[in-house]
Structure 1
Amino acid sequence: MMRIVMHVAVVAAIAGGPIASAKAQGASAPQTSSATATPENAVLLTVFLRHDQSRPLSELNAQLAKQGFYKAFPPPGVEVVSWSVVMGIGQIITLRFPASRIREVNRVLEDTAWGPYRTEFYPTYDYKSVGMSEHEKAQ
């Protein structure tokens, strides 16, 4: 339970911080950070990349290459927890990184994925151990 509370607290901290700092910094590109994710600063972020179904896959891939998507994403030091293709939707990626890097991750996706994909972002936390524990208790 404490782990869930910690993740929720990190997500809540993100909600109040980067928006204000982004306004203060203007539209300039975010600085790349070498900070690594720790239990105290890590956030999980699930990203939906919904593909444009009005265009063929070859066209989408060509635009991704032109925009440098796979070169820039994921940024160095951002851990990919999972990366799946969901038929009819697109790609679903879960990332782990320090909360302070959320703007950087967002900007990489804005700069390289928009067009072929419509992006959606969901703060996430790992519930597997809690869910499995509850399942075992119920048996």
Structure 2
Amino acid sequence: MQPTLKTLLISTMLISSVYCSAVNAQATIPPAKNVVATPENAMMLTVFLKHDQSRPLGEIKAQLARQGFYKAFPPAGVEVVSWNIMMGIGQVVTVRFAASRLAEVNLALENTAWGSYRTEFYPTYDFKSIALAEQIKARTVE
């Protein structure tokens, strides 16, 4: 039995209605600020803050100050794992936080870094202990 056009339209409208309700419900839930990162809920994020090389550094710093970048990023309770300068690229920041705070971290950057930097985001995990174990394993097996 093939569905009629009317049945398909009604189904689409119902699905769309349920989806919109879920999205609206999510939008009204306040962000989970100050949730502590634990091994069960933590995530790391590496952020590339790419310099606009057509602008002098002083101009970029002034804009960051006007936008309150260093006041807002990282949000309180977000751990900075590393913050490095990558010459020719810009700044590379890795932060650790409870996954439920992802939107808060993103908004802190959108509201204060955009205009001074182009941003790229990469989910990150710590591979050092795994790589070291693999090195030891490879070096002991002859």
TM range (shorter): 0.7 to 0.9
| CA distance in structure 2 between the partners assigned to 1:73 and 1:39 by the alignment | 22
TM-score, normalised by the number of residues in structure 1:
0.79
The one-letter code matched in structure 2 to 1:35 is: V
Instruction: Name which structure has the greater RCO, CA cutoff 8 Å, separation 6+.
Output: 1
Number of residues of Structure 1 aligned to a counterpart in Structure 2? 118
Larger Rg computed on CA atoms: 2
Q: From the superposition, tell whether residues 23 and 48 of structure 1 become closer, same or farther in structure 2 (CA, over 3 Å).
A: farther
TM-score, normalised by the number of residues in structure 2:
0.78
Q: Where do 5+ consecutive residues of structure 1 fail to align?
A: 1-19
Q: Where do 5+ consecutive residues of structure 2 fail to align?
A: 1-21
1:137 alignment counterpart: 137
The one-letter code matched in structure 1 to 2:134 is: E
Deviations 1:91-112 (A, max 9, x none): 0000000000000000000000
| CA distance in structure 1 between the partners assigned to 2:24 and 2:109 by the alignment | 16
Indicate the percent of aligned positions where both proteins have the same amino acid.
Answer: 65
| CA distance in structure 2 between the partners assigned to 1:122 and 1:65 by the alignment | 25
2:34 alignment counterpart: 34
- The alignment yields a C-alpha RMSD, in angstroms, of 2.0
Q: From the superposition, tell whether residues 21 and 80 of structure 1 become closer, same or farther in structure 2 (CA, over 3 Å).
A: farther
Shift of 1:34: 1.4
Runs of 4+ in 1 over 3 A off after TM superposition: 20-24
Q: From the superposition, tell whether residues 50 and 42 of structure 1 become closer, same or farther in structure 2 (CA, over 3 Å).
A: same
